[in-house]
Amino acid sequence: MAKLIDGKAFAEGLRGRIAKAVAELKAGQGFTPGLAVVLVGEDPASKVYVANKAKQTVEVGMNSWEYKLPAETPEAEVLALVEKLNADPAVHGILVQLPLPKHIDSTKVLTAISPAKDVDGFHVVNVGKLSTGQDSLVPCTPVGSVMLARDVLGKLDGLEAVVIGRSNIVGKPVAQLLLAENCTVTIAHSRTKDLPAVVRRADLVIAAVGRPEMVKGDWLKPGACVIDVGINRIERDGKGKLVGDCDFASCEKVAGSITPVPGGVGPMTIACLLYNTVKAACAAKGIRQPEM
């Protein structure tokens, strides 16, 4: 049976180290890192995420601002808010929750965020820096996924990694991070031919396709490390249930280690967002960031 990778416990530890770093910055440097989160509309999942982000930001001792705008807010108003936050020196990180309502151009909004405050790492400047090996703000879920893989496998040098999914939020940036860790990286997706055969090559599987329980145990190389980024809400036995992109029951019989859903990668995302906010704050102040 696979070892369970406890993302909840790892994220708690990371948040503890971030809280310590924030306390040090307050005492030693006299400033408090701050994160502003913008939510447009009423998407129920987004509301839960945003509430959790704000709660955990305050718990580690940082300043938190929440902007909740109605779904029909014109694009120009969202852009004006981003400009206001860009100009505010107390705000070190800006996150605009996705998805945005259809009448708003997400790319335009994400590009309006100052790259120095882009704690999601979605701005083309940060994407470009990541892909050329320059220090940058890196997307949170990919960083959290790689942290968990490193925690269980140690060095990732030379491993065969297969990423399933090619999104800008997870698939592409996680592939860049694994490449930087000296993995041999394959990005597979919905059009990949014979996906099970491709996945069977992998020492490390990162599943980020958004298809409930797609990856089966007999697709895995025995002993592989499986990082399941999927969070899918399904109906089973008349009840709502959260499942990943991997069929946990069959995968845990073959994998060497596997993240559960929930309690795997999910809790890492917000912890990494807080990490990025401290990083952005220290860069803005021109000081070295504390160990975290």
* Catalytic status, residue 56: no
Spot the catalytic one: 53, 117, 172, 221.
53
Nearest to 93, CA basis, from 30, 36, 161, 26: 36
SS percent in the chain: helix, strand, coil, step 5: 45, 20, 40
* Catalytic status, residue 97: yes
Distance of alpha carbon 265 from alpha carbon 243, whole angstroms = 12
CB nearer to ligand GUN: give 96 or 164: 96
Binding residues (CB under 6 A) for ligand GUN: these are 95-98, 120, 140-141, 169, 269
Nearest to 162, CA basis, from 189, 211, 131, 199: 199
Alpha helices in 165-285 (DSSP H): 171-180, 195-199, 248-254, 266-285
Shortest spacing between CB 155 and ligand GUN, in angstroms: 27
∠ at Cα 177 (172, 180), nearest 5°? Answer: 130
Spot the catalytic one: 6, 56, 97, 221.
97
CB nearer to ligand GUN: give 170 or 226: 170
Shortest spacing between CB 85 and ligand GUN, in angstroms: 14
> What does DSSP say about strands 93-96 and 184-188: parallel, antiparallel, or unpaired?
unpaired
List CB contacts of 178: < 8 A, sequence separation 6 or more.
146, 156, 161, 163, 185, 204, 206
CB nearer to ligand GUN: give 85 or 95: 95
* Catalytic status, residue 289: no
Q: Sign (positive/negative) of CA torsion 160, 161, 164, 168?
A: negative
CB nearer to ligand GUN: give 168 or 182: 168
Shortest spacing between CB 119 and ligand GUN, in angstroms: 9
Shortest spacing between CB 159 and ligand GUN, in angstroms: 25
Spot the catalytic one: 6, 118, 120, 203.
120
CB nearer to ligand GUN: give 126 or 141: 141
Shortest spacing between CB 37 and ligand GUN, in angstroms: 8
Among all residues, which ones are annotated catalytic?
53, 97, 120
